Structure formats: C-alpha cells, structure tokens
Amino acid sequence: MSLFKSRSTESSKPKKLWKITRQCLELIFESAKSSFPNEFGGLLRRSDLLDDTISELVLLPGTVGGDRHAIFRMHMKPIDYSIVGTVHSHPSTNFSPSDADRQMFARYGKINIIAAYPYTMNSWRAYDGAGNLIELIVVD
C-alpha cells in the first residue's frame, strides 16, 4: 500500500452536488431535436453564483455542427463566472464522450452534458472535467 494519497483524494472539500432545472434540460432536448441530424452545442449557466443549480442554456452562435464530433469554437465563450460547463448533442444513441469531447471537458467545463438521440430524460448523461460520469439532479 502506498502512503501517498492519490490525486483524487487530495481535496478535502465536500463533493458538490450539482443540479439542473427540468426546464433547462427540456430546452436542451428541444435544441438537440431542432439541430438533428447535426449536433448542437451550448454552455450551461447558473443563475446564482452561490447556488449549484444550472438553470440556463447559452447557445453558441459559432458552434460547428456536423456528423463528426463537434467542436465548440470556444473563443466565443463569454467571460462569465456563472458559466459552469458545456452541453452538446450526439445524433446517435451513444452518450459516451469521444476523445475530443474529453479534451473539451478538461479545458472548459466542470459539468458537461451529452444529450444523445432521441433526446429524452432517459438519453442524457453528465460528466466532470475528467470525463467521469457524475450525478446531476433534476429539480423542478
């Protein structure tokens, strides 16, 4: 056994439990449906810096769509500390992040949602910046 703590246990902070409003998720699904068969991308915003609830979707005008994994033109990203992560759709039933997705997550988001086809409450997942599956609680 090693006496060294692994990187993941270095932090003594309690793990944050992030939430998202149902309304925001529904907007994500609607945006994904209207972009289909292309991908759509956006940013996740919380309305209150003291609250860990994602309540707004910010669509990025420069988002590249296409059947390949898309990549956000992140220079479009506003400098805004209420932005907590990214969201994009997959026009397939696969909601696993691609290598390109993982790179994007690592650079830009604490919370990263992938909405997979058919874009329902059962076809999305959330990942942290390292690409690990995380729990995101849906609130009304």
Provide the binding-site residues for Zn ion, judged by CB under 5 A. 69, 98, 101
Could you give the dihedral angle defined by the CA atoms of residues 65, 122, 27 and 30, in that order, rounded to the nearest 10 degrees? Answer: 60
Task: Give strand ranges (E) for 66-118.
Answer: 83-90, 111-116
In whole angstroms, how close is the CB of 74 to Zn ion at the nearest point?
14
Among the listed residues 103, 117, 105, the one whose alpha carbon sits nearest the alpha carbon of residue 38: 117
Give the span between the Cα atoms of 113 and 97, in whole angstroms.
Answer: 9
In whole angstroms, how close is the CB of 31 to Zn ion at the nearest point?
15
In whole angstroms, how close is the CB of 9 to Zn ion at the nearest point?
29
| Closer residue to Zn ion in complex, CB, 18/86 | 86
Contact 22, 140 (CB under 8 A): yes
Residue number with the smallest Cβ distance to Zn ion: 101
Among the listed residues 128, 109, 122, 131, the one whose alpha carbon sits nearest the alpha carbon of residue 42: 109
| Closer residue to Zn ion in complex, CB, 53/120 | 120
| Closer residue to Zn ion in complex, CB, 18/40 | 40
In whole angstroms, how close is the CB of 24 to Zn ion at the nearest point?
19
What are 42's two structure tokens?
């956006």
| Closer residue to Zn ion in complex, CB, 53/98 | 98
